[in-house]
A and B are shown apart, each in its own frame.
Chain A
Amino acid sequence: MNSIESGISGLDEISSSVGSKDGVIQENSATLVYGPPKVGKSILCNQFTYHGLNLDEPCLYLTTDQSMHELQQNMMDFEWFLQNPIEKELLYVIDTLSPLSGEEINTTTTYKVSKINDPTDLMVKVGIGTRFVFKKSNKFRSVLDSLTTPFAFNPEALVIRFLKAYIRRLKEAGATVLVVYTEGVVDEKTEKILKSLMDNVIMMDGEYLTFRSTTGLVGTAEYNITNKGIFLEKGKTL
């Protein structure tokens, strides 16, 4: 299985240090990025997205916690400028937060909105977006950042159902998917179900990043958030 260049400095190298050809994130896999609030999960996803965009790998980005405007600002904090990829129609964003303000939003070919409490409509938009991105390139990424707001606005079970359909749809199309989840937002039982839907799990706790992939690879490394993004120190596999 091919692995994807994550774009997170030090992450892909961890496995290669053991001589393994498997990177941490395999192509066409679904990875859960989870941990307490404010540890850098969103930053990791943004870094992953931006790196892909630079490789001309399009990205289908579902933003539920932050508006498109905030996403762009957050990217700018690290000098990840989105203007060019947006012009090249490599970044396709579905924004479920902005409509909450009640105002009508101007959408474009690659910027769509949906309602936070209407997973049916969101799934329609995901289908359309997936098709658009797939036509751009068979090799593409997708990010769902994050499950927090959907869990706040919908019954838990419904969010899980949506998540299953979302992962199925994106994997079928060949995407490599990252899903962000804040630990503690749902109970343990649901968290278990959540993890079982994924191929890999990346856990961040503010100091250490630990990953577990279905290939059996388990590793951990210290990480720092710098003004250029997330950097991993030399890690070790377990």
Chain B
Amino acid sequence: MMKRTFIPKLDDFLGGGIPEGSSVLFCANPGVECEAFGYQTLQSRLEEGDQGFIFTNVAEPSSIIYEFDKLGWDLETNVENENAFFVDGSSYFIGAPVTGKYGVEDYTQIEEVVFKAIADVPNGVGIINNLSTLIDYLGDEKTIEIIKNWNESAKEKNTILLYIFTQWDYEKDVIKKIKESMDCLIYLSTIEERVIIGQGFMVTGASWTTPSSNMVLFNVIHPGGVKIFIPKILVTGPYNAGKSSFVRSIAPDSVSVDRMALGQVPTTIAMDIGHMEHKGFVADVFGTPGQERFDLILDILAKEAVGAFILVDSTAPKTFARAKEMIKRCKTEAIPKVIVANKQDMTGALSTDQIRDVMKLDQTIPIIPVSIIQNEGIEEAVDGLLEMLYR
């Protein structure tokens, strides 16, 4: 029987949900909010009438109840009703009183205790938070052995086991063995441009289905839980570089917005807003007006954008200075950007190398030759930006 997690998009990627008795590894880059995935799955299953437990070695049960509360879920009542319980592997080690149905006062007890917990919730779900701490306490060989045993036991009892694992710099061999002992791998990663600008998840393996290989951006909202994040992509550039055409080309349903209320005074601007889907990547596209007087909007939008296309007219080098200024405005927000050198079909169009020279841009910013009118280069431009986002 497939058990749904009710985490947006995840169940689709998993082919409906998680089969009973499966083991799932949430493998996270350091810095990604990963606990919410385990907690949300547990919450969903509890709401569906299943039972569950949380084994914790990183936070006391009362802390976790507080986390659930912040997410908008009442774990406390479920614990009182004995639908959910804790295996407390954290409190003793920080000198706090051990709470929960089972407590651990010695790391050698952990294996046994979790066996009991698994047996207590047949057809239910168990969360192991966090596997990394186990490895560094028990050693990698012992931990891998224990995981295998737990997974076997879970299969027998039809209990789903979800492991939260932070992929610190463990040896490749160790990580490989851990992954091999799981039925399903969900990779949680940071999206970075000098700093973390986003997080995404992706199902990279499942023993029961072929997962679609899409990475989905997400945020953890308090309250709310894991929510898909639709990023904003800016399309900007000097006047007449082809922004509107570009937006319409990548977001066919885009509309032109003529008025926008900024503060108390409505201003008349032409802005193109659309929704883009390209190879599984979803984004809202904002084409900004090119005139200088609207740079304030550019600043505001740049704050929330995860990437930018900067259109330039390859035949109008005089506008390059203006383009550079707009790049600078995006730069402070450290977002990945791609220069779309439009109008390559026209005579007098500078080559991308020439453009790079004139603009004095360093090699880290790609310049893609494009002719929107001839529908050429657009796909390459979008691929270019996406590649930078998901590097």
Asked if A161 and B59 make an inter-chain contact with CB atoms under 8 angstroms apart, the answer reads no
Query: Is the Cβ of A155 less than 8 Å from the Cβ of B133?
Result: yes
Kindly state the separation between the CA atoms of A115 and B197 in the bound complex, as whole angstroms: 23
Q: Which residues of B are found within 8 Å of A130, using beta-carbon distances?
A: 195-196
- Contact status A127-B168, CB under 8 Å: no
Of the listed stretches A10-18, A48-56, A167-175, A224-232, name the one at the interface; the rest are far from the partner chain.
Answer: A167-175
User: A165 contacts which chain B residues (CB < 8 A)?
Assistant: 30-31, 168-169
Q: Chain A 105-143 against B: per-residue CB contact (8 Å), 1 yes, 0 no?
A: 000000000011111110110111011001100000000
Contacts of A118 in B (CB 8 A): 58-59, 130
- Is B1's CB within 8 Å of the partner chain A? no
The answer to whether A78 has its CB under 8 Å from any CB of chain B is no
With A120-B28, A123-B30, A130-B195 as given contacts, are A102 and B96 in contact (CB-CB < 8 Å)?
A: yes
Instruction: Flag B97-117 by CB within 8 Å of A: 1 or 0 each.
Output: 000000000000000000000
- Of A126, A156, A161, which contacts B169 at CB under 8 A? A161
Tell which of B32-40, B41-49, B238-246 binds the partner: B32-40
Given contacts A115-B63, A117-B90, A162-B168, contact A131 B195 (CB under 8 A): yes
Does the CB pair A134–B94 fall under 8 Å? no
Query: Is B13 on the interface with A (CB-CB < 8 A)?
Result: no
CB contacts (< 8 Å) of B170 on chain A: these are 161
Is the pair B195, A124 in contact by a Cβ cutoff of 8 Å? Answer: no
Interface pair B31/A134, CB less than 8 Å apart: no
Q: Which residue on chain A has the smallest CB distance to residue B32?
A: A124
Given that A100-B94, A157-B136, A162-B168 are contacting pairs, would A127 and B58 also be in contact in the complex, using a CB cutoff of 8 Å? no
Report B-chain residues with C-beta under 8 Å of the C-beta of A134. Answer: 194-195, 334
Q: Is the CB of A173 within 8 A of B132?
A: no
A104 in the interface, Cβ–Cβ < 8 Å? yes
Contact A115 B59 (CB under 8 A): yes
> A78–B380 Cα gap in the complex (Å)?
58
**When the two chains form their complex, are residues B132 and A164 in contact, meaning their CB atoms are under 8 A apart?**
no
Residues of the A chain whose Cβ atoms lie less than 8 Å from the Cβ of B314:
none
A161 cross-chain contacts in B, Cβ below 8 A: 132, 136, 168-170
Contact in complex: B133, A158 (CB < 8 Å) = yes
**Are B168 and A158 touching (Cβ within 8 A)?**
yes
Q: Which residues in B have their C-beta under 8 angstroms from that of A157?
A: 136
Given contacts A126-B31, A157-B136, A158-B132, contact A117 B194 (CB under 8 A): no
Q: In whole angstroms, what is the CA distance A164 to B190 when docked?
A: 16
Interface contact A155-B137, CB-CB below 8 Å:
yes
| Interface core residue of A116, A120, A161, A164 (most chain B CB under 10 Å) | A120
Within the complex, which residue of A104, A158, A172 is in contact with B194, where a contact is CB–CB below 8 Å? A172
Q: Of A115, A123, A127, which is within 8 A of B166 by CB?
A: A123
Complex Cα spacing A162 to B196, Å: 16
Q: Which residues of B contact A99 (CB under 8 A)?
A: 63
Known contacts: A115-B58, A134-B334. The answer to whether A120 contacts B30 by CB under 8 A is yes
Q: Which label, helix, strand, loop or mixed, suits the secondary structure of the A interface? A: helix
Which chain A residues border B63 with CB–CB below 8 Å?
Answer: 99, 115
Complex contacts, B31 vs chain A, CB 8 Å: 123-124, 126-127, 165, 169
Does residue B150 face the partner (Cβ distance < 8 Å to A)? no
In the complex, A119 Cα to B167 Cα: how many Å? 12
Residues of B within 8 A of A100 (CB): 94
Q: Which of B113-135 contact A (CB under 8 A)?
A: 130, 132-133
Query: Which of A119, A153, A174 lies in contact with B94, CB distance below 8 A?
Result: A153
Question: B58 to A117, Cβ gap below 8 A?
Answer: yes
B192 interface residue per 8 A CB criterion: yes
Tell me the minimal C-beta distance from B390 to chain A in angstroms.
17
The interface on chain B, measured as residues whose beta carbon lies within 8 A of the other chain's beta carbons, has a size of: 36
Contact B96 A120 (CB under 8 A): no
Q: Is A20 an interface residue (CB 8 A)?
A: no
B residues less than 8 Å from A104 (CB atoms): 66
**From residue A115, how far is it (CB to closest CB) to chain B in Å?**
6
| Distance of A154 Cα from B90 Cα, bound (Å) | 11
* Chain B residues within an 8 Å CB radius of A127: 31, 190, 195-196
B294 within 8 A of A: no
Q: Which of B63-96 contact A (CB under 8 A)?
A: 63, 66, 90, 93-94, 96
Distance of B249 from chain A, by nearest CB (Å): 32
Instruction: Give A131 to B332 CA distance when docked, in angstroms.
Output: 12
Tell me the smallest distance from the CB of B330 to a CB of chain A, in Å. 13
In whole angstroms, what is the CA distance A68 to B66 when docked? 22
How many angstroms from the CA of A169 to the CA of B190 in the assembled complex?
11
Within 264-305 of B, Cβ neighbours of A (below 8 Å) are at: none
In the complex with contacts A120-B28, A120-B58, A173-B194 CB distance below 8 A? yes
Q: Do B194 and A174 have beta carbons less than 8 Å apart?
A: yes
A162 to B66, CA, bound (A): 25
Contact B35 A120 (CB under 8 A): yes
Which 5 residue pairs spanning A and B have beta carbons closest together?
A: A161-B168, A127-B31, A118-B58, A155-B136, A158-B136
Which residues of A are in contact with B by a Cβ distance under 8 Å? 99-100, 102, 104, 115-121, 123-124, 126-128, 130-131, 134-135, 153-158, 161-162, 164-165, 169, 172-174
30 A-B residue contacts at CB 8 Å?
A: A115-B59, A115-B63, A116-B94, A117-B133, A118-B59, A118-B130, A119-B132, A119-B166, A120-B30, A120-B34, A120-B35, A120-B58, A120-B166, A123-B30, A123-B31, A124-B33, A127-B31, A127-B196, A128-B196, A131-B195, A131-B197, A155-B137, A165-B30, A169-B30, A169-B196, A172-B192, A172-B194, A172-B195, A173-B194, A174-B194
8 extra interface residue pairs, beta carbon distance < 8 Å, beyond A115-B58, A165-B168, A173-B194: A102-B96, A116-B94, A117-B133, A118-B130, A120-B28, A121-B35, A121-B59, A135-B333
